[in-house]
Amino acid sequence: MLLRQLQTFASIFEFGSLTAAAEHLHLSQPAVSRQLKALEKDLGAELCQRRGHAVLPTPAGEAVYAYAQRALMLQRDLRQQVATLAAPGSGSLTLSCVDTVAVYTLPDLLQDFLRRHPAMHVHVHTVPTRMAVAEVLQLEADLALTTTPVTHPRLQCLPLFEDPVALVASPAFAAGLPAPPTLHQLQELPFIAYEAGTHLRGLVDAVLEQHGIRPRIALEFDGHEAVREVLLRGLGLAFVPLSTASLDIAAGRLVRLEPGGLPALSRQTSLVLPRDGRLSPAAKAFIEVSRAHFAPAEGTIRP
């Protein structure tokens, strides 16, 4: 069994057709078909089934794909290890992270990392938490950065910092409120919320419900930038991660409201890595820099 056959099969699996896989691999379609047939003959199992123009994996194909991903990741790790020995400090790193980390936390961290390791190449995937975790499990990413703790038998979760969740509004909107607003008054005000089903929305809803507060949701969005824009226009107030609002608060574009009686809310930004300890030199270097980067600010915000 050749590694190239596994690579070809993985491309067929991911693209769903021999034609697309051939284009991706810069091969002819007959060459891709021959490699697939050779792999099936070697394993003694049918790996794909044709349905119209689509090629779908069989149960055996699903299993082979998982092993193919591991083999290809090991090949990449081998190349990185040899390259690192030949040129210390070089290598490549693939990170999966959620949107808020990519926008508000990662740039500063990457600046620190590349200052210490200028020869490194970093590839960042911005995906939802469940996909970030899946990419580490499937060896498609070396590490993941999430805003919620991750529990999985094959993964280790390294906390980096606590990101407080703050109630904010524009200065104009806040000017019409008592300082601080009461819990009863919160229920009467227009809230800008993140869409239902997100971890942040669930965290906020649970705490408000414990205090008998049912906020009046005026606007609902699936991203931080949209929430920020309507906050700046004075259309309501919102609970947001402080890392996403700290610059606006410092510049006076937003103000932080602190209603009495509500407990402190926060979410934990963490680094997710394989529990088996098999890490590339680049991944180990990034973990080391991440620990050092956030250690001086433990318990505080490092946007």
**Taking Cα atoms as reference points, which of 259, 271, 98, 300 lies closest to residue 194?**
98
Fold of 3-71: Arc Repressor Mutant, subunit A (1.10.10)
Tokens of 178: 């008592």
Q: Which residue has the tokens 């919620």?
A: 148
Mean pLDDT for 58-79 is: 84
What is the 8-class DSSP label of residue 103? I
HEC assignment per residue over 180-219: CCCHHHHCCCEEEEECCCCHHHHHHHHHHHHCCCCCEEEE
| C-alpha to C-alpha distance for 109 and 145, rounded to whole angstroms | 11
| C-alpha to C-alpha distance for 55 and 62, rounded to whole angstroms | 13
Mean pLDDT of the chain: 87
Contacts of 53 (CB under 8 A, 6+ apart): 17
Q: Which CATH architecture describes the domain 164-266?
A: 3-Layer(aba) Sandwich (3.40)
**Per-state percent for the chain, helix, strand, coil, to nearest 5:** 50, 25, 30
Angle at which helix 3-15 crosses helix 29-43, to 10 degrees, equals 110
**pLDDT at res. 66:** 86
| C-alpha to C-alpha distance for 180 and 175, rounded to whole angstroms | 11
pLDDT confidence tier of residue 231, bands split at 50, 70 and 90: very high
Q: Any idea which of 38-52, 53-67, 173-187 has the lowest mean pLDDT?
A: 173-187
Q: Are 10 and 57 in contact (CB under 8 A)?
A: no
Mean pLDDT for 90-98 is: 86
**pLDDT at res. 297:** 47
What is the 8-class DSSP label of residue 262? P
Asked, colleague to colleague, whether 3-71 and 164-266 share their fold, the answer is no
pTM, entire model: 0.68
Mean pLDDT for 30-59 is: 89
pLDDT tens digits, 245-280: 999 999 999 999 988 778 888 999 999 999 876 788
Cα distances from 17 to residues 1, 47, 50, 55, in angstroms, run 21, 13, 9, 5
Q: Is 280 exposed, middle or buried (0-12, 13-18, 19+ CB in 10 A)?
A: buried
pLDDT confidence tier of residue 15, bands split at 50, 70 and 90: confident
Q: Are 33 and 69 in contact (CB under 8 A)?
A: no
Question: For 80-161+268-297, which CATH class?
Answer: alpha beta
Extents of the domains making up the chain: 3-71, 80-161+268-297, 164-266
Percent of the residues in the chain that have a pLDDT greater than 70, as a whole number? 93
CA 94 to chain centre: 11
What is the 8-class DSSP label of residue 296? G
**Count of helix runs (H) and strand runs (E) in the chain:** 13, 11
Tokens of 279: 């890490």
Contacts of 253 (CB under 8 A, 6+ apart): 170, 171, 232
Mean pLDDT for 165-191 is: 87
Q: Any idea which of 68-82, 125-139, 258-272 has the lowest mean pLDDT?
A: 68-82
